[in-house]
Every structure is written in C-alpha cells, then in structure tokens.
Amino acid sequence: MNTWGIVGITLQIALVATLIDFPIALALSWLIVKKRIRGRTILDVLASLPLAVPPVAIGYFLLILLGRNGPIGGFLHSAFGLDVVFTWVAAALASAIVAFPLMARAIMVAMDGVDERFEMSARSLGAGTMRVIMTITIPLAYRGMLAGVLLGFVRALSEFGATIVVAGNIPGKTQTIPLAIFSGVQLGDNDTAMRFAAISIALAVVTLLMHNWLLERRA
C-alpha cells in the first residue's frame, strides 16, 4: 500500500470536510446562540443528530441521495455526467456530516461565552449585524471556535462507517487511514494495520494537543 498516498487522501478528505462544516456551523451557531430564532431547539437537535445516528446509516442515506437513482446523484449524472458516490468527494461529504456536531457544539459554546454587552454596545453605535460578528463576536470567540474546528478535523480523520458505505474502499481513490487499517486486518497484514494505526494515533495526538492548548489559552 502507498502509505503517503493514503495519508494524503485522508488529510484531503478531512480538510475538505472541515471547510464544508465551518461556515455552516458558524451560521447555525449564530442563529441558535445569538439570534435565538424561533425553532432553535429543533435546529439544535438536527445539528446534534449525527452523534446519535450510526455512521453506517448516514452513509446509507447519502448513498440513496447521491446514487444515480437518487434525487441529487441522478440530477448531477444526467445534467453534468458526474458521479459522486465512490469518489473522495462522497467520502468528504460523509466525514463532514459525521464531524459536524462536534464542531458546531464547540462553536456554540465559544459564542455563548462572549459578553453580550460588547455586542450591544457596538449595535448602539450603529454597527450592523455582520460588522458586530466580524469585529466583536469572532475576535472574542476565535480560540474556542478554532478548537472546535480542530475537533471536527480530527473526527473527520477517523471517519470509517459512513465513508465505506458511500465511497467504498478503493485504493488510490477513497482509501483513507481507517480503511487501510480495516483492509490490513481483513488480509491478515498486521504490519500494515499497525503502521496505519500508529499514523492515525500520531495525527490525532498532534491535533488534540493543539485543541487542548487553545482551550487553555482561552481559559
């Protein structure tokens, strides 16, 4: 197995999943924590739902939606000739959904920790909503938000169940570190399984150390 190729695909998928999640988590957190819109409890439940649903089920629902016979996959195939399932894009979407709750919850906590008096003062001076978010909320909450981003990233690195259903385990295309470990175990190749397990642990430790350091700085 191409070790560095698999590591590269894993990092690519985790990075894209994180980039997908961040703006959505930021907007949703603002609506729930700061805007306090009606129905925010439902939004909160939906944001946390992937934590309670088995990743395999998430992968199955994505397979239905993105397959050629599905509403999204069928449209993409007929209109543009594109197939999403069994590609790294499908793996990134699956990882994004599974990792989303961890990132969103952390960003909500970070935003909730911002003293609303600063935001109210800015509004009283004529600042609009976007200006308040960009100049008050995000600067005061950025360490907690960045910690949430890292938490989502490390979860995307370790995603297995949803990925293998909707993207498969295709060497050189969709095989990530967790899938390489799975293949090694299936084939009885303990050296490969141990090598990728060690790489997975190393990546997780580095990311979590950064996450904890940011939380300590925030405290």
pLDDT value at position 103? 95
- Look at residue 219 in the predicted model and tell me its pLDDT: 55
Q: How far apart are alpha carbons 155 and 23 in whole angstroms?
A: 17
Residue 114 per-residue DSSP state: S
DSSP 8-state assignment for residue 160:
-
Predicted pLDDT of residue 218: 59
Alpha helices in 115-189 (DSSP H): 116-124, 129-132, 138-157, 161-166, 177-187
Has residue 194 got a pLDDT over 90? yes
**Residue 1 pLDDT exceeds 90:** no
CATH number of the domain where residue 112 is located: 1.10.3720.10
Residue among 99, 69, 97, 102 nearest 83 (CA): 69
Alpha-carbon dihedral sign for residues 27, 30, 56, 20: positive
Residue 197 belongs to what domain range?
A: 3-218
| Separation between Cα atoms, residue 43 and residue 39, nearest integer Å | 7
What is the domain count for the chain? 1
For residue 18, give both structure tokens: 């994180």
Model confidence over 82-137: pLDDT tens digits? Answer: 999 999 999 999 999 999 999 999 999 999 888 888 888 888 888 887 888 888 88
